[in-house]
Amino acid sequence: MVVWGGSNTALLNTGGRYNPGTDSWTATNAINAPAARYYHTAAWTGSEMIVWGGAGQTNFLNTGGRYNPSTDTWTATSITGAPVARWRHTAVWTGTKMIVWGGNSSFNTGGRYTPGTDSWTATSTFNVPDGRGYPTSVWTGNEMIVWGGLGSLWVNTGGRYCVQSGPTTPTPTATRSPTPTPTATPTATRTPTPTATATVPSSPTPTPSPTSTGTPTPVPGGTNVALAANGGVASASSTLSNNFPVWAVNDGDRLGLNWGNGGGWAD
């Protein structure tokens, strides 16, 4: 913890660093320290303590200094563009800037101090709360909220101050993702239904019915008879006719032959 300035029987520009781990104090360097004062503000940046404003021996102040505890050194803050001198104001640290606002009994102005460039920028007065001293303030992460304090009377009003850190970065316009061209769903090629090949029932090749060989009706008794009128010609044949040609039996007979074997003729 670093404390600095204030008033005892006189105004002070001294201070000390308190180490809770060892419960010990170390005095701050007074070389290049700001002028003695009280009712000033102090803000911690993470590496330095910035003190600003307050009341000096004879007047209000708009001066200040940055104290680096690691080197135990002071660096004066610029007065170029700094708010008008004041006391009983308020201050917050945004992470990159210190904002001071209000003070005395009627101030509603302020400024943003950037230690990296040692420069000041005035805070807006549009819609600003009424001027006051002793206001309280907190930093939300993107706004400073001030409330209460003493104007002509004690007040219970306040306001939220939104910091613009440099030119506004335009909100990027979302690039419209191109609508993907739908991939054509391949049309299923219809597999032709095979045309049923008519199965021609094979007609069985008719097995030819065996032609029944006519069994010759046997000549009863093998008897061949030929009749002829007197003086005519008769002929007969049999299975043995080769042995008995027609000329041999004309009008006569063949004696001594068996008729059963195709014998001759007789009148």
For the chain, which residues make up each domain, given as ranges? 2-162, 222-267
Enter the tokens of residue 92. 């917050």
Is the dihedral angle over the CA atoms 58, 61, 63, 67 positive or is it negative? Answer: positive
pLDDT per residue over 5-21, tens digit each? 999 999 999 999 999 99
Residue with tokens 């170029």: 80
Q: Band of the pLDDT at 160, cuts 50, 70, 90?
A: very high
The answer on pLDDT for 175 being more than 50 is no
φ, ψ at 257 (rounded to 5°): -105, 150
The answer on pLDDT for 28 being more than 70 is yes
CATH number assigned to the domain with residue range 2-162, chosen from the 4 options 3.40.50.720, 2.120.10.80, 3.90.78.10, 1.10.10.10: 2.120.10.80
Residue with tokens 């008995």: 244
Q: Band of the pLDDT at 113, cuts 50, 70, 90?
A: very high
**CA 184 to mean position of chain CA atoms:** 22
What is the residue-wise DSSP string for 64-79? EEEEETTTTEEEEPP-
The answer on pLDDT for 35 being more than 70 is yes
